[in-house]
Amino acid sequence: MRRIVFVVVGVALILAGVIWMLQGLGAIGGSSMSGNTKWAVIGPIVALIGIGITGAGLRRRRPQR
Protein backbone atom coordinates (compact mmCIF):
# COMPACT_ATOMS: atom_id res chain seq x y z
CA MET A 1 0.00 0.00 0.00
CA ARG A 2 2.82 2.40 0.87
CA ARG A 3 4.44 1.80 -2.53
CA ILE A 4 1.25 2.82 -4.30
CA VAL A 5 1.04 6.03 -2.27
CA PHE A 6 4.64 6.93 -3.12
CA VAL A 7 4.07 6.32 -6.83
CA VAL A 8 0.78 8.25 -6.96
CA VAL A 9 2.20 11.23 -5.05
CA GLY A 10 5.35 11.17 -7.18
CA VAL A 11 3.44 11.13 -10.46
CA ALA A 12 1.18 13.95 -9.24
CA LEU A 13 4.25 16.04 -8.41
CA ILE A 14 5.78 15.32 -11.81
CA LEU A 15 2.61 16.43 -13.59
CA ALA A 16 2.26 19.54 -11.44
CA GLY A 17 5.90 20.44 -12.01
CA VAL A 18 5.63 20.07 -15.78
CA ILE A 19 2.45 22.15 -15.89
CA TRP A 20 3.99 24.85 -13.69
CA MET A 21 7.09 24.95 -15.87
CA LEU A 22 5.04 25.27 -19.06
CA GLN A 23 2.94 28.02 -17.50
CA GLY A 24 6.06 29.84 -16.36
CA LEU A 25 7.48 29.65 -19.88
CA GLY A 26 4.22 30.99 -21.32
CA ALA A 27 3.38 27.80 -23.26
CA ILE A 28 0.14 27.39 -21.28
CA GLY A 29 -1.84 30.55 -20.76
CA GLY A 30 -4.87 31.54 -18.78
CA SER A 31 -3.56 31.99 -15.26
CA SER A 32 -1.56 34.42 -13.19
CA MET A 33 1.35 31.96 -13.37
CA SER A 34 1.60 32.33 -17.15
CA GLY A 35 4.79 34.04 -18.24
CA ASN A 36 6.13 34.27 -14.67
CA THR A 37 9.69 32.92 -14.74
CA LYS A 38 9.51 31.99 -11.05
CA TRP A 39 7.25 29.08 -12.02
CA ALA A 40 9.60 28.10 -14.85
CA VAL A 41 12.20 27.45 -12.11
CA ILE A 42 9.93 25.96 -9.43
CA GLY A 43 8.28 23.53 -11.89
CA PRO A 44 11.34 21.46 -12.79
CA ILE A 45 12.42 21.35 -9.14
CA VAL A 46 9.03 19.92 -8.13
CA ALA A 47 9.15 17.48 -11.06
CA LEU A 48 12.59 16.23 -9.97
CA ILE A 49 11.32 15.71 -6.44
CA GLY A 50 8.40 13.77 -7.93
CA ILE A 51 10.77 11.61 -9.94
CA GLY A 52 12.70 10.82 -6.77
CA ILE A 53 9.57 9.91 -4.82
CA THR A 54 8.28 7.77 -7.70
CA GLY A 55 11.63 6.01 -7.95
CA ALA A 56 11.65 5.37 -4.21
CA GLY A 57 8.16 3.90 -4.44
CA LEU A 58 9.09 1.63 -7.30
CA ARG A 59 12.32 0.43 -5.65
CA ARG A 60 10.86 -0.42 -2.28
CA ARG A 61 10.81 -4.12 -1.70
CA ARG A 62 7.96 -5.91 -0.12
CA PRO A 63 8.73 -7.16 3.37
CA GLN A 64 9.30 -10.89 3.54
CA ARG A 65 6.89 -12.80 5.70
pLDDT at 50 over 80: yes
For residue 23, the tally of other CB atoms under 10 A from its CB is: 21
Question: 57-61: which pairs have CB atoms within 8 A and are 24 or more residues apart?
Answer: 57/2, 57/3, 57/4, 57/5, 57/6, 57/7, 57/9, 57/10, 58/3, 58/6, 58/7, 60/2, 60/3, 60/6
pLDDT at 55 over 90: yes
Residues 1-26: pLDDT tens digits? 888 999 999 999 999 999 999 999 98
Q: What is the model's pLDDT at position 25?
A: 92
Q: What is the model's pLDDT at position 60?
A: 67
62 pLDDT tier (thresholds 50, 70, 90): low
